[in-house]
Every structure is written in structure tokens, then in C-alpha cells.
Structure 1
Amino acid sequence: MAGTIGALSGVTLGAGPARADADAPRSRGPRNAQDWRAVPAPGSTPAAQLRRVSAAGAGLAWAVGEEGLAGPSRGRALAMVWNGSAWSMTDLSHLNYSGRLSDVAGVSSTAAWSVGLPSGDASPLLRWDGATWREASFPGRGEAGVRLESVAVGSDRRVWICGARGGAARLLLGDGTRWTWLDPLPVASANLYRIVLRTPNEVWVSGDQASGGGWSGLVARCNGTTGTWTVLPPITGARLGIGDVHAAAADDVWAVGTEAGVGGPPGRPGNPALAHWDGTAWNRVQPGFTVGSLSGIAGDAQGRAAWISGWNYQDQSRSTYLRRDGDGWTVVRGPAGGATAPYLNDVTAVPGTGGFWSAGMTSPVPAPPTEAYTERLDG
């Protein structure tokens, strides 16, 4: 399989210094730490991490991942819910699933969904019933080779899922009752990691595709009415995977991920990757640090890319973000004291506010005593 997006996914330290040009983000000091604050996410069994976070508003949000990772153990699913004042764990013992939940998306208390990696004979599809998660059926459930990687929910309550079936990357579309697999992405040897909606009928996906002996970054758009694909040119790099994408317009698309590079011992971190599509070509932008990763990107109320979550290998004492600053990006540090060396997997906007959530784990290695971790920026 090609590149895997996640903690310590890369294998090399080799990246040159950031360019000193207009595109290179400017670093800002700890004076910005008061903007983001750590919010306890208690109750999980170490090692634990939150992979994705989604908010319906100031008083309702969900976060999912895994807990109980130790040695050879694959761990088990972890899900939390925010009630406006605190995170609490959701009991998943009634589910016939023990693997990792990889994504969550919701727009209301009755329109939230989660997906996970295959465990046993099924990749799960879960629906929030207002109090807990329940398993939902879909075509291909339990079928060998079916993977549900990421989920998005539109304002029209339609549910979009990217994954794989029949040996090809493709989308699953449903309304909670009826589900349809759409035509495959017309790219061979592709993996999809994230799906996002710009509008209910404009669907974007990101991931990677085979390229020579490695892989390059993949971004594509699906017309939600016709199901037709527009595949952007590959984002070239040394084993580059795109973990998230944000489209403000067809000629204003940002993609973030990790470039694993070539060579180096196993377990060595990769290099953060930031690229912008201007409607004609991809332009790589220096993210302001050279070793680590970029994991998630979120837009503001106007639909413009606003925040990027990341991990800076060379300065792990606080979380690391990129904040949109005019036409460029500025490096911003998270709060002190929230965790000794936090690793962020995702960032998302809080609808109806100017706020944002981020989620991850308290250290960059998913081994005990690492715990689930969140930060919040009030709007």
C-alpha cells in the first residue's frame, strides 16, 4: 500500500531550509498561545489518540480514534462527544467492532456519521442516534476489500464516504437509508484519505497515487450531481501523501500532508508538505519548518482556508499550527502546559462561531502513557 497518513509516517529527515520569500510563513512566538487552549478529553485507556474531530456547533462536537494501544495490540475504537462544556467518552461495547475509527462528520444531533478501518470482515459505518453510535448497513458491508476511509455530511444531510471497493478508489453516497457506490476514481493504484464538501454537490478528495517506485499526492473533485470526476495533476514529491484538502474555489485549493522522502531508518519523521492550486498548476509552499507533518486544514466562515494543524519535530514542546495571514501563512504555537509534546491529527471549524477544534494525542508516539488530546480556539 502507498503512503500512510498518521503519526511518524515518514522515514527521513532530509529537507532543506525554508525559502526566505513571500510564500514562506513567518514564525510567531508564544504570545499567541493564549489563543488556543488545551481542553481535557478524559477517560480513554492509554495509549490513545483522536484521529478526527467534527463540530455541529458550539454545543455539540464529536471526536474519534483509538485507545488501548500497547505492544502488539491493535487497540479498540474510541469515540467522544462534546456537550458544550466537556468531552465524555461514548460507550461502544454494544458494537460488533474493535478496530480504529478513522473519521467523523456531523451537522446536527441526528445527522452524524463515523467510519473505521476494517476489523474482521467489515469496515464499519456508524450513525449517531442522539445518545450513542449505532451500526448502519450499506452495500458491500462485510465484503473483502471494502474500506471506508473518510466521511462528510452536507447541509442537505446527504452522506459522502470515500474508500475502496472492487480494487478501486470510489465514493459511497447515501441518505441514511439508501446507499450507492459511484463510479471509480479514474486513477490506478490510488488511495483516498479524506473527503470534504465545498457545497452539497462539490466533493473533494485527497490521498496518493502510485508514481514510479513510490507515490505522489492526489487531489480530485467529484460533481455530486453527475458523479463525474475531475482529477488535478499529481502533486510531485518523494513519497508524498495528501492528508487533507480545502477548496475555496476551483482555482484556490490548498493541500496538506507529509512527504516521507527516500532512505533513512524506519521511524524517522518525514517532511511537512503544503501546496496551492491556482487553477493551472500546483505550487509548493514552504510551511515554516522542515521536519514533521501537516495533518488537517480548516476554513473560516467565508470559506477561505484559515488554519492548518501540524507537528514540528524540531520543536515539540507545544502544538504547531499555520494560520492564514493575508496571502501567506504564519506559524503559531499552541498553549503551554496542555501536554508535554502534543501531536495534532486534525483541525475543524465550529459552525456558527469563529472558533475551531483540533485533536490528536499528548505525545507523538501512540504508546503508553499517550492519551487523547484536544485544543480549542474560541471565536
Structure 2
Amino acid sequence: MAGHRRVLHVAAWAAAFTGLLITPAQAAPGPEWTSVPTPALQGLAVPNEVAAAGPNAAWTTGVENATTGGGAFVLAWNGREWRRQELPLPGSTYVKDIAAASPRDAWMIGANTTEEAGTRTVALHWNGTAWREVGYPDGISPDIRLPSPSPQLEIVSAAPGGPAWSIGQDEASGESVALRFQRDRWVRQDLPVKMVSALTVAARSSRNVWISCICELPGEGPTQAMLHWDGVRWNTVRFPSLDGTYVLEIVPVSSRSVWAYRAPVMYEPAPALLHWNGEEWRPIPVPVDGRVVNFNNITDDGAGGAWVAANTYDNDANYLHYSRGRWTTERGPGRPGVGAWIYDMVRVPGTRKVWSVGLVAPLSGPALVEYRR
């Protein structure tokens, strides 16, 4: 599938790099990350999405047997171990994104292929017992036209006590759309501007939802901007954009604290962490060598700071932490001098713990599932 090809194509770039350096002000002492075993995964297994609803509820999904076409796997964390979960779909399924609001409320959006029906978009909901399919609107595709080579698509988001949100592409008009799940169906939302391409969606609550987009702004044409839902209306918010860079991930913490990551299409210019203080966005330079492929993987740390994942070829310091105006790095466990590509990371709600998933030694694996306790 196209999703499989994206994972392998991006991973193959690692062969071109020999020293992707991270140069923060100071390295944090001691190992902080723990490798967590998973059930046996087949062939080259690539975990590329992770979502957490609490200390005893998390999910990761990806592709196994990736070099031979493969198919999706889904693992669930119960507080003690990862266990496989089955999807209620025949044929081959590729999960594009996953989000969790509570242990009984999680979402996946992807594509399912069978000989009879071909390939179609599917949305799945976890109700605490099983995954079930819930209809995704006809004519809406989750294959967003991305300006970046990142295989990660933040196309679904959910928060406790609020509806799930998704972004997609209207196949007839070619424009992007925002969807909200209400009354057991996905409903298209009216927006104040036309989205040429929606790039990411992030929900903190029913009154705090952000979308990064290339939008048709009055008198300006296609322009990078953000749309913010405050529970009553959508507001258009400008941010310090830069040619050749795009915001593909947003992490709302509160109404007065939101993190975002502005990364280049390829290797330059240097990426920046962005912070919203309730009134404006401020860019914070990220101390990453310009040759690093940036996948826009960030999360907040639960204490006013943020984590940024850096993808490296022969450097095991994959985690950059920003707190109180300074950067430090931390290293993944048990792989000295071996690089890794972090495909996704998320903080566990109500804690300062963080899950990350990806691939050790980008060309060959094994799968990486790590936890900062």
C-alpha cells in the first residue's frame, strides 16, 4: 500500500547520513528511558503511531512484514504488558492515525483493501471491549496532500469529555475538510476560510481544538495559518511561518499553553519549537543538525516544557527536552551509538510519563517501543 511505501521510502534515507548530531547545551545524566517488550511481531515491524488515555491504557499500531507488503498490527497496553488486538475487518488494513480520549474511547482511521471492495477509508472506534467500524463520509479521503515527506499523518484527535475530530480531503473539490464525530457519525464542519491543505488537527477539549493548514486567507491567497475552535466559533490565527517549513504537529496543553513543531520539507532551514501563550506564537530554535530528517514528533512534559524527538543514524541521543529556557538531551536505552527514528511520541495523561515508538537502526530495525517513567 501507499502507506507502507512511505514508511520504507523515508527509512531508506538513513543510508545517506553518517553523523546526524544533536547539539544541545547540556546532556542529561543517566538513562531515563526503558525499552518495553511487545508480543512477537513479524518481519520488519515498524510501529509508527502511539496514543495514551492513562497509565493503564495505551495503543500502538504500525506495519509488520513491511518489506513484503505486510499489514497492520495493533497492540494495547494494560498497565503491565502489551497485548495484540484484532481489527474487525477482512483483507488488509493500514492504520494512518490513532487517538485516545479514555480507556473506553479511542479512534483509528486508515484504509482497508479487499478483492471485492478494493480500497476504502475506514474509521474504527474502541468502546472498552472491542473495535467497531463507524462510517467515514463518502468522498472524503484521509490521504492529505502533504508538503513534507513525513509518513506520519495527525488526522484524528480526541480529548476526554469532547468529540473526536478528523481532517481529510474532499475528493470532488480537492480542498481539505474538518470533521467532528457527533450523533454516531462524522459531520463536516463549516470553517471561516477554505483549507487548500489541512496539515494536522489537535484537540485538548471540546473548547480547544487546533488545525494547521495552508488556507485561502482574504486578500492573501494560499497562506500558512492555524484555525482555533473555542467551543463557539473558529478563529484564524497567524504564526511565525518560514518558507520551506510547515507545522505538522500541535500539542494543546491548555488555553494559554500550546506547543507546535515547525520543520523543513527536507533538511533546511533548521526546525523550531513554537509556543502559544494565549496571545501569540513564539519560535524557539531546536538544536538539531540541519541534516536530520524531522518528523514533527513532539509532546508536552506535563510540567510546562516539551519533548522533541530527533531521528539519527549513529547517535542514540534521540530525545530533546526543553524546559525553562534550556535544552537537554536523553538517550534511548541499550543501544549505545546506534541511531533510531522516532515515528511518534505521547505523554500519558495525568502523569509526566512518555511513550515513544519507532525503529532502531532505520534500515533494519528492530521495532522500538520505549517509555520514560
Q: TM-score range by the shorter chain?
A: 0.7 to 0.9
Per the alignment, residue 306 of structure 2 pairs with 306
| Map of 1:275 onto structure 2 | 273
Q: What is the SS of the residue equivalent to 1:70?
A: helix
* 1:80 maps onto 2:85 in alignment: no
For residue 310 of structure 2, what is the amino acid of its counterpart? Answer: G
Q: Which has the higher relative contact order, 1 or 2, with Cα contacts under 8 A spaced 6 or more apart?
A: 1
Q: Which amino acid in the other structure matches residue 170 of structure 1? A: V
Q: Aligned runs of 1:332-347 on 2, under 5 Å?
A: 332-337=330-335, 340-347=338-345
After superposition, residues 1-379 of structure 1 pair within 5 angstroms as 7-8=10-11, 25-28=24-27, 31-32=29-30, 34-70=31-67, 73=69, 75-92=70-87, 94-96=88-90, 98-117=92-111, 119=113, 120-140=118-138, 143=139, 145=141, 147=143, 149=153, 150-165=155-170, 166-175=173-182, 177-183=184-190, 186-187=193-194, 189-192=196-199, 194-206=200-212, 218=224, 220-233=226-239, 235-238=241-244, 240-248=245-253, 253-256=258-261, 258-261=263-266, 273-277=271-275, 279-280=279-280, 283=283, 285-292=285-292, 293-301=294-302, 304-313=304-313, 315-316=314-315, 318-337=316-335, 340-365=338-363, 369-378=364-373
- What SS does the corresponding residue of 1:312 show, helix, strand or coil? coil
Q: Identify if the C-alpha distance between structure 1 residues 57 and 283 changes in structure 2 by more than 3 Å, giving closer, same or farther.
A: closer
Deviations 1:340-365 (A, max 9, x none): 43211111111232211111122323
Greater share of residues in helix: 2
Shift of 1:124: 1.5
Pick closer, same or farther for the CA change 1:227–1:47 going to 2, 3 Å.
farther
**Structure 1 residue 55: deviation in Å?**
1.2
* Contact kept in structure 2, 1:43 and 1:89, CA below 8 Å: no
> Cα offset for 1:116?
1.7
What is the identity, as a one-letter code, of the residue corresponding to 2:228?
Answer: C
The percentage of aligned residue pairs carrying the same residue is 24
8 Å contact kept, 2:95–2:109: yes
Separation (CA, whole Å) in 2 of partners of 1:9 and 1:197: 33
Change (3 A) 1:280 1:217: same
Q: Is the 8 A contact 1:276 1:284 kept in 2?
A: yes
Cα 1:271–1:117 change in 2 (3 A) is farther
Distance 1:8 1:359 in 2: 14
C-alpha distance in 2 between matches for 1:62 and 1:219: 31
Give secondary structure in 2 for the equivalent of 1:359: strand
CA-based RMSD of the aligned residues comes to 3.7
Measured in 1, the distance between the counterparts of 2:274 and 2:84 equals: 37
Q: Unmatched 5+ residue regions in structure 2? A: 1-5, 145-152, 217-221
Once the 2 structures are TM-superposed, how far is the Cα of residue 235 of structure 1 from its aligned partner?
A: 1.9
> What residue identity is the alignment partner of 2:94?
R
User: 1:186, 1:229 within 8 Å by CA — same for their partners in 2?
Assistant: no
CA-CA distance at 1:174 after TM superposition:
0.9
CA distance in 2, matches of 1:277, 1:230: 16
Matched AA of 1:254: W
AA of the residue aligned to 2:311: W
Instruction: Decide whether the 8 Å contact of 1:152 with 1:195 is kept in 2.
Output: yes
Report the Cα distance in structure 1 between the residues aligned to 2:336 and 2:81, rounded to whole angstroms. Answer: 16
Match of 1:266 in 2: none
The alpha carbon displacement at 1:290 in A equals 2.7
Deviations 1:322-373 (A, max 9, x none): 11221233232222339943211111111232211111122323xxx43432
1:183/1:257 CA distance change after superposition, 3 Å: same
Please give the alpha-carbon distance, in whole angstroms, between the structure 1 residues aligned to 2:66 and 2:166.
Answer: 26
Alignment gaps of 5+ in structure 1: 19-23, 211-215, 262-268
Q: What's the TM-score once normalised by structure 1's chain length?
A: 0.76
